């Protein structure tokens, strides 16, 4: 097996895991995929194609819970996220690649720890929605991991599981379309990113189906803990790899 095939197999396996995670827990696609993939691939490519495939996966989740979406809340968070996206894009464009890898790894550990501890983020009401949205927007176009601020905000709103999953998936679909448009305008959508995205589509569909089947057999809370634990380990690897590159 040549290196190209091995690299592609690695990408597909990571995307399958990430898609399954999001289908079960309602979040986690980019949070699982990005720290793994940046250890071997270009950061910009990873942010772009993970964003594209995360948008596809979210759309498949959203169609199952569309009627449960809290539309006003999601609209406020989206409007705020649009304001944060240009800042995140500037970071992606101008930050050194190794520094960005290190930032992704550290951010992953911080966000996973906050999710495990159930930290409340953003407060309540419209102000909280705006803070969660703008933070998510910055993270979306800089690291591709826009989920945690919104998850941290929503998990303290005591939403029913369908509404929680509906809010997340609909937010991710619209923000994903918007961020991709910005990536195209900024010229960061490379041929390799598109190739990885195309190769990952079957993995996203398969992971979505696996996750949907697991919903009735596996506690979402248990799966969430497993996903976050895996994320911390992966993020530590990403941090170590980044530091090694910088020191070298």
For every residue of 111-163, DSSP letters joined together read: HHHHHHHT---S-SHHHHHHHHHHHHHHHHHHTS--HHHHHHHHTTTT--HHH
What pLDDT, on the 0 to 100 scale, is given for residue 3?
Answer: 46
Higher pLDDT, 150 or 148: 150
Cα 84 to chain centroid, rounded: 16
What pLDDT, on the 0 to 100 scale, is given for residue 14?
Answer: 92
Average pLDDT over residues 73-85: 95
Average pLDDT over residues 18-31: 78
Average pLDDT over residues 131-146: 91
**For the ranges 65-74, 79-88, 112-121, 228-237, which has the lowest average pLDDT?**
228-237
Higher pLDDT, 224 or 177: 177
Residue 26 scores a pLDDT above 80:
no
Rounded Cα distance between 189 and 8, Å, is 18
CB distance 61 to 85 below 8 Å: no
Average pLDDT over residues 47-60: 89
What pLDDT, on the 0 to 100 scale, is given for residue 2?
Answer: 45
In the predicted model, what is the mean pLDDT of the chain? Answer: 83
Residue 187 has a CB neighbour count (10 Å cut-off) of: 8
Which distant-in-sequence residues (6+ apart) come within 8 Å of 200 by Cβ? 11, 12, 15, 49, 53
Average pLDDT over residues 156-163: 78
Residue 117 scores a pLDDT above 70:
yes
CB distance 166 to 157 below 8 Å: no
Closest CA to 138 of 80, 94, 187, 98: 80
CB distance 200 to 53 below 8 Å: yes
What pLDDT, on the 0 to 100 scale, is given for residue 45?
Answer: 94
What pLDDT, on the 0 to 100 scale, is given for residue 233?
Answer: 67
**Domain coordinates in residue numbering, the chain:** 3-247
The conformation of residue 38, written as its DSSP 8-state character, comes to: T
Residue 243 scores a pLDDT above 80:
no
Can you read off the two tokens belonging to residue 187? 């010229």
**For the ranges 33-37, 78-82, 88-92, 239-243, which has the lowest average pLDDT?**
239-243
């Amino acid at each position: 097996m040549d290196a190209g095939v091995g690299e592609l197999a690695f990408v597909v396996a990571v995307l399958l895991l990430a898609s399954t995670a999001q289908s079960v827990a309602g979040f986690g696609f980019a949070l699982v995929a990005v720290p793994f993939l940046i250890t071997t691939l270009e950061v910009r490519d990873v942010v772009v194609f993970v964003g594209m495939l995360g948008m596809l996966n979210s759309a498949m989740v959203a169609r199952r819970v569309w009627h449960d979406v809290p539309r006003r809340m999601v609209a406020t968070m989206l409007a705020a996220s649009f304001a944060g996206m240009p800042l995140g894009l500037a970071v992606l464009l101008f930050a050194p690649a190794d520094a960005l890898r290190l930032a992704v790894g550290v951010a992953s550990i911080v966000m996973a720890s906050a999710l495990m501890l159930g930290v409340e983020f953003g407060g309540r009401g419209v102000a909280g929605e705006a803070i969660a949205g703008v933070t998510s927007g910055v993270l979306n176009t800089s690291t591709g991991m826009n989920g945690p601020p919104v998850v941290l905000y929503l998990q303290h709103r005591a939403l029913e599981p369908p509404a929680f999953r509906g809010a997340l998936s609909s937010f991710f679909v619209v923000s994903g379309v918007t961020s991709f448009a910005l990536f195209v305008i900024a010229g960061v959508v490379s041929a390799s990113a598109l190739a990885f995205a195309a190769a990952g589509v079957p993995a996203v569909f398969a992971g979505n189906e696996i996750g949907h089947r697991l919903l009735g057999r596996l506690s979402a809370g248990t799966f969430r803990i497993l996903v976050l634990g895996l994320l911390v380990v992966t993020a530590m690897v990403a941090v170590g790899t980044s530091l090694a590159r910088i020191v070298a």
